[in-house]
Each structure stands twice: as C-alpha cells, then as structure tokens.
Amino acid sequence: MNTPPVYQQASFLLSAAKLDQLPTDEGIEVAFVGRSNAGKSTVLNRITGQKRLARTSKTPGRTQLINVFQLDADRRLIDLPGYGYAKAPLTLKKQWQYTLTRYLQTRQCLRGLVLLMDIRHPLKGSDQTMLQWAIESQLSTHILLNKADKLKRMQITKTLKAVNEYIAPYSNLISVQCFSALKHSGEDELYAVLNEWFKSE
C-alpha cells in the first residue's frame, strides 16, 4: 500500500544517550523495540517509505542510543536500542536495560510500543521481560512478528496462535500481527494501529 503522508514526512531529529536529551515530554511518541536483527530498521524504513531513514541507528556508536524521528511538531517515532545482542559486554547490556526501562516507565507522551520479533524466534526471554514492563506500566503494545516470508502459511498460523494464547490475559493492552518488511505484507494492519495511537484526543 502507499505510505500515508504523515509517515513519509519522517525525518531524523536527534539521538539521545540519556533521557534528558530527548525532546520535551509532550505530544505523542510511538516507540519501536526488539532484539537486534529482528528487522527494526528495515520496518522503520518500510513504514516511512524511506530507504535510509533508520540507517542512522546503524551508525557505529548510535546503536545504543534512542533515535528520534519527527513526523510533525507533535508526533514522533522512537527507535529504541536493540537488545539481546549476544556479543555486547554485560555492562553495555545493563546500560541499555536501564535506559529502556526508564524510558518505558517514565515517558508521559509514550502512547504505544511496537515490539518486533523474528517470527521464527518469538517470545525470547528478553521479549517476555519487555512485555512484563509494558504490562506493569499499562503501556499498549503491538507485537510485530516480522519476516513472515520466511515461514510457510501453516507455521505462520501456528506461531500466531501460540503468541495469541500467550497474550490472551492482556488482550486489552497487547495485540499481535504478522508482518514482512521484505514482502510488504501486514502494512495496513500496522498503519491502523499507529494511526489510532497518533490520533490526538
């Protein structure tokens, strides 16, 4: 589908190492998070229709930062540091965890979280921790099972069912869908969720 104009407008605003470097806590933010390699940069590029938008996040030294993309004066997409990268030193992992938790727990303008997973490896320990934080903070979360093109239809259905069962007790807060950044599938469903979150009251 065509990229809705507001997402096409996305532009890199800043990278923040600490929460106090973020824009004033006003307007609406939707954050993207997930294990490294789940496809977060590819998905951000895909939904904004920009090939290189999230390349910024891949710049060495910026992978541990919170990257902020502005849609308009009031709305921002937030690219949170990827987690679960096995090679990262423990101190770095602790620091990411601290920044992530603090952001998720304190950011007032955070309206929703898109939690990316590789559909072939859903609900890893770190994903479950992330969901736990979201539940504790009563933060609406949409799970994106990315790379659906890597699985056969039956496997997709099975995985979606398993994840749906896992989140069933929190269905008021957590939702899930399949997605393929490569094949452009699942875009309508994702835009519907984002549009709802970005709607001003």
Measured from the CB atom, the residue of 139 and 145 that comes closer to ligand GDP is: 145
- Rule CB under 6 A: choose which of 52, 102, 150, 158 binds ligand GDP: 150
Question: With binding defined as CB under 6 A, does residue 28 bind ligand GDP?
Answer: no
Number of chain residues interacting with ligand GDP (CB under 6 A): 16
Question: With binding defined as CB under 6 A, does residue 38 bind ligand GDP?
Answer: yes
- Give the binding range for ligand GDP (CB under 6 A) out of 67-75, 124-132, 160-168, 180-188: 180-188
Strands (E) located in 6-151: 11-16, 28-34, 66-70, 75-79, 110-118, 141-146
Give the contacts of 164 (CB within 8 A, at least 6 positions apart). 176
Question: With binding defined as CB under 6 A, does residue 122 bind ligand GDP?
Answer: no
Q: Residue of minimal CB distance from ligand GDP?
A: 39
Token look-up 């590029």 returns: 45
Q: What is the CA radius of gyration of the chain?
A: 16
- Rule CB under 6 A: choose which of 181, 186, 194, 198 binds ligand GDP: 181
State the pairing for strand pair 66-70/11-16: antiparallel
**Over 9-38, what HEC string results?**
CCEEEEEECCHHHCCCCCCEEEEEEEECCC
Question: With binding defined as CB under 6 A, does residue 77 bind ligand GDP?
Answer: no
Question: With binding defined as CB under 6 A, does residue 149 bind ligand GDP?
Answer: yes
Q: Cα–Cα distances in Å, from 163 out to 38, 78, 144, 157, 197?
A: 16, 24, 11, 10, 22
- Rule CB under 6 A: choose which of 12, 13, 28, 37 binds ligand GDP: 37
Helix (H) or strand (E) holding 177: strand 174-178
Q: Which two tokens stand for residue 79?
A: 């690219």
- Rule CB under 6 A: choose which of 3, 9, 36, 95 binds ligand GDP: 36
Looking at this protein, which amino acid is placed at residue 108? Q
Measured from the CB atom, the residue of 42 and 101 that comes closer to ligand GDP is: 42
Question: With binding defined as CB under 6 A, does residue 41 bind ligand GDP?
Answer: yes
Question: With binding defined as CB under 6 A, does residue 137 bind ligand GDP?
Answer: no
Give the binding site for ligand GDP (CB under 6 A).
34, 36-42, 82, 146-147, 149-150, 180-182
